[in-house]
Amino acid sequence: MDIPREKKKDPRRPWLIAAIVVGVLVSLLGLSRLGPASPQLEKATLLIDVVKRGELVRRVHGNGTLVPENQRFVSALTAGRVEQVLARPGSPVEASTILIELSNPDVQLEALDAERQLKLAEAELASVRSSLETAKLIQEGSLASSRTELREAERAVAVAERLAQDGLNSTMDVDRARDRLEEAKERNTGEKRRTVVASEAFLAQIELRKADVERLRAIARFQRERVASMQVRAGASGTVQELSLEPGQWVQSGQRLARVASSERLKAVLQVVETQARDLTLGLPTTVDTRDGVVTGRLSRIDPGAQNGFVNVDVTLSDSLPRGARPDMSVEGTVEIEKLDDVVSVGRPALGESETTTRMFKLSADGHSAIRVSVRLGRASFNAVVIESGLVPGDRVILSDMSQWQHVDRVRLK
C-alpha cells in the first residue's frame, strides 16, 4: 500500500512574509510624508510680472463723472398739482424761463385773505391816526387856553399891586389876584405835562399800528411770492439736467423738481478707494480721460469721509474739454502723487496692501514651477508697488489671486 509523504516546511517563508510587511509599512510611511501633489496651473491664465529697478511714479486711479461747477437745484416753494411741464432734460434755459406750472387753490385763497387783512390794518391805522391827531389838537388848544389864563392872571396881579400902592385897592384884592395867578400856573404846568404824555401815547399807538401793518404786509408779500412760485422758473442760465414730472402729479413743499447746470465749466468728480486716498493732497496734478481725449487738471477738493469704501475727490480742469463733453459723462482719472527714483518694484498683486508683508509665488528659473516666498511691500501706486525685501530685480512673480492655493508652497506650471 502507498504511504503518504509529509510535506517539508520551507524555512525561508516567515522571513519573506516579514520582509513584505516591512516593505508595505515603509511605503505607507513614505507616502504619508510626501503630502499632496503640487497643483498644476495653466501659465497662460496667470498674470506674471518681472521685478525691476528704476523710477516708479506713484499714481492713484479712480472712475467718476463730469459735474458742472455751477448748478442749481430747483425746489417747490409750495405744494401743488403739476398743470404743465414746459421744459425737458437737455432744454437750454435762462434764469427767467418757466419750467413747470403748478396750481393750488388753497394758496391763492390764503393770498387773497392776507391782502384783505392788510387793507383792514391800513384802514385802521389811518382811522387811529386821524383820531389821535384830533385829540392832539384838542390838547394843544387846552394848553393854549391855560397859557392865556396865566398871562391874564399875571397882569391882574400887577394891576392889583399898583392900585394897592396908590391906596385904591385893598390887601385882600391883591391876595385874591395872586391866588388866581398860582392856580393859572398850576393849570398851565398840568396842561404841558398832559400834552407831552398825549404826544408820547400818540406816537406809541401809531408805531404799534404801523408794526401790525408791516407784519401783515410781509405776510401778504410772502403769499404773493407763493402764488408766483407756482410758475417754477429755472433761476439760472444753463441746461436742464433733471426733470421727470408729469401733468397731474402732486408735489410737496420743498420737493426737488429739477436740476439746471451750466455746461461752460465742468469738473471731474472721481471715486478713489479709501486705502489709496490717504496720500492725496490738494493741488496734485491729475489727468482725466473722457474717452474722446485726455485733459489735465489739479486736485481741488477731497471729501473728509469715505462712503462705501470710496472717497470722492474733485478735479478742476485746466484744459478745454473735447467737443461732446457734457455733465454726467463717465470719465477715468489718474492722480500723480510722487516720483520715486531707483527703487525695486513690481506690478501690484491682487492681494497685498502697501506697507505690509505678504506671500507671493516666485517662478523658478525654467518657469515650470513657482514657490511661495515672503515679500515686504512698500509704498504703492494703483498698478505697481515697491519691493522692500524678499525679491530682487529679474525675479518673476505671479500677481494673480492665488488665495485658493494658500495651503501649498509650490505649484507646477505648464
Q: Report the pLDDT value the prediction gives residue 187, as an integer from 0 to 100.
A: 82
Q: Report the pLDDT value the prediction gives residue 22, as an integer from 0 to 100.
A: 62
Q: How far apart are the first and last CA of the chain?
A: 76
Q: Report the pLDDT value the prediction gives residue 31, as an integer from 0 to 100.
A: 44
Q: Report the pLDDT value the prediction gives residue 52, as an integer from 0 to 100.
A: 94
Q: Report the pLDDT value the prediction gives residue 34, as an integer from 0 to 100.
A: 43
Q: Report the pLDDT value the prediction gives residue 6, as an integer from 0 to 100.
A: 53
Angle between helices 171-229 and 105-165 (to 10 degrees): 170
Q: Report the pLDDT value the prediction gives residue 114, as an integer from 0 to 100.
A: 93
pLDDT tens string, the chain, 414 residues long: the values are 455 555 455 555 566 666 666 666 655 555 445 445 678 888 889 999 999 999 999 999 999 999 988 888 999 999 999 999 999 998 899 989 999 999 999 999 999 999 999 999 988 888 888 777 777 777 777 778 878 887 887 887 787 778 778 776 677 877 787 778 788 788 888 778 887 877 777 888 888 888 999 999 999 999 999 999 999 999 888 889 889 899 999 999 999 999 998 877 889 999 998 888 888 999 999 999 998 889 999 999 999 988 999 999 999 998 888 887 888 889 999 999 989 999 999 998 988 788 889 999 999 988 889 999 999 999 888 889 999 999 999 999 999 998 888 889 899 988
Q: Report the pLDDT value the prediction gives residue 192, as an integer from 0 to 100.
A: 80
Q: Report the pLDDT value the prediction gives residue 1, as an integer from 0 to 100.
A: 46
